[in-house]
């Protein structure tokens, strides 16, 4: 039965050997919580394949302002605290979701943290920063309650300890994954659309920390020497209109395509298939699933050498430059676009790496960590 205000949405697999529940106040909408939702859905499907029952408990909050979204997510948590979870063997909260749960009435409680809100406050200003600081306090509460905290990278583990004081002994690194066979099927079904132009693809929610304005500036320089290029930007966000204005100010609007949100994964796969290079010069990533998608698509990656990005984008699969160095960003893009054999070599290496990063491997590791706590040898 749904909770009254938030309309809890549950996706339940048949009852199997273990019964878990994932908690997230994000709705099943990539426009709102794309990374978190992709992660939890990926784990849910993988768990089903290894005979573990999983329930994904989400909200149906609509996309809106940052304040409206934050209020909706907090309300979800208040209502969640009144729910009974007796039928589950373990609960897995995410980021700050689950902070209000009374532990004395809750099954063994774990948390996946892929957000590190205290780490991204510095990229926001005014009301946005104030909202994030409040949510970061809730995130800290949630992490302190957990028996074990799962994080996607070594960077996340280090910062979680530094920012929130979480003991290193209860942090477990759980790299994320991709359903490579399914992604490959979507790529194979996608139409090849030759345009006579070289395409640079960026897929991201357009927040200031994603560095998309840096990419637009680098692309302007690139166009002076390689006029037959296009920049494809997939994803919307609070910075999108500012980025549109920047492209117009630089006189390159005709070569920068703003696709907005692409909710159809097949259409997104087609964008990857018809691109030559992937570039997301983000200033902050706790993992970066889109880099994995790009590598699974056989694309070389250009990004900033910062936070967890080097843990995902290895030298064999892409080129990393110092954060904020727009000239080097331009140079790497220029070099790759002019060297098709290098693009192919990097793309092949990245695809080989992506094939190994399965959701099944990630889910099995998570289950082992959970069993170590609830069924110690």
Q: What pTM, to 2 d.p., does this model score?
A: 0.92
Please tell me whether residues 97 and 245 are part of one structural domain: no
Residue 3 lies in a domain: no
- Give the SS3 label for residue 375: coil
Residue 4 lies in a domain: no
Whole-number pLDDT of residue 33: 52
Residue 16 lies in a domain: yes
Residue 187 lies in a domain: yes
Token pair, residue 347, equals 């793309």
Residue 328 belongs to domain spanning: 180-356
Residue 1 lies in a domain: no
Q: What is the mean pLDDT of each run of 10 residues along the chain (377 residues)?
A: 42 61 86 77 94 92 80 93 92 96 92 95 91 96 97 98 97 97 95 88 96 99 96 95 98 97 92 98 97 98 98 97 98 98 98 97 96 85
Please tell me whether residues 164 and 276 are part of one structural domain: no
Whole-number pLDDT of residue 30: 59
Please tell me whether residues 348 and 362 are part of one structural domain: no
Please tell me whether residues 221 and 305 are part of one structural domain: yes
Whole-number pLDDT of residue 194: 77
276: phi then psi, degrees, rounded to nearest 5:
-105, -30
| CATH number of the domain within which 191 lies | 3.40.50.2000
Q: Which ranges of 88-179 does DSSP label H, i.e. alpha helix?
A: 117-120, 126-145, 154-164
122: phi then psi, degrees, rounded to nearest 5:
-65, -15
Please tell me whether residues 257 and 367 are part of one structural domain: no
């Amino acid at each position: 039965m749904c909770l009254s205000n938030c309309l809890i949405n549950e996706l339940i697999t048949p009852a199997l050997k273990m019964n878990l529940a994932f908690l997230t106040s994000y709705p099943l909408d990539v426009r709102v919580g794309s990374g978190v939702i992709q992660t939890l859905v990926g784990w849910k499907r993988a768990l089903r394949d290894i005979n573990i029952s999983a329930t994904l408990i989400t909200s149906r909050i609509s996309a809106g302002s940052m304040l409206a979204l934050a209020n909706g997510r907090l309300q979800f948590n208040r209502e969640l605290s009144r729910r009974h979870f007796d039928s589950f063997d373990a609960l897995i909260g995410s980021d700050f979701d689950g902070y209000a749960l009374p532990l004395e009435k809750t099954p063994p409680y774990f948390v996946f943290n892929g957000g590190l809100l205290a780490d991204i406050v510095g990229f926001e200003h005014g009301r946005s920063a104030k909202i994030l600081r409040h949510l970061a306090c809730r995130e800290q509460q949630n992490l302190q309650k957990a028996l074990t905290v799962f994080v996607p990278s070594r960077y996340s583990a280090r910062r979680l300890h530094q920012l929130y004081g979480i003991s290193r002994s209860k942090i477990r690194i759980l790299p994320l994954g991709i359903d490579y066979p399914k992604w490959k099927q979507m790529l194979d079904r996608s139409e090849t659309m030759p345009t006579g132009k070289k395409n640079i693809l960026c897929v991201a929610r357009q927040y200031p920390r994603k560095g998309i304005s840096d990419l637009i500036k680098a692309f302007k320089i690139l166009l002076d020497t390689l006029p037959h290029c296009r920049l494809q930007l997939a994803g919307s966000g609070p910075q999108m209109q500012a980025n549109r204005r920047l492209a117009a100010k630089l006189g390159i609007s005709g070569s920068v395509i703003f696709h907005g949100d692409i909710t159809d994964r097949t259409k997104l796969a087609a964008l990857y298939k018809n691109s030559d290079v992937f570039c997301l010069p983000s200033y902050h990533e706790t993992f970066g699933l889109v880099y994995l998608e790009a590598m699974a698509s056989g694309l070389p990656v250009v990004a900033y050498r910062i936070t967890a990005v080097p843990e995902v984008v290895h030298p064999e699969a892409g080129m990393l430059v110092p954060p904020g160095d727009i000239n080097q960003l331009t140079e790497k893009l220029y070099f790759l676009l002019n060297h098709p054999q290098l693009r192919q070599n990097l793309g092949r290496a990245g695809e080989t790496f992506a094939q190994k990063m399965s959701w099944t491997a990630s889910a099995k590791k998570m289950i082992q960590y959970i069993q170590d706590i609830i069924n110690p040898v």
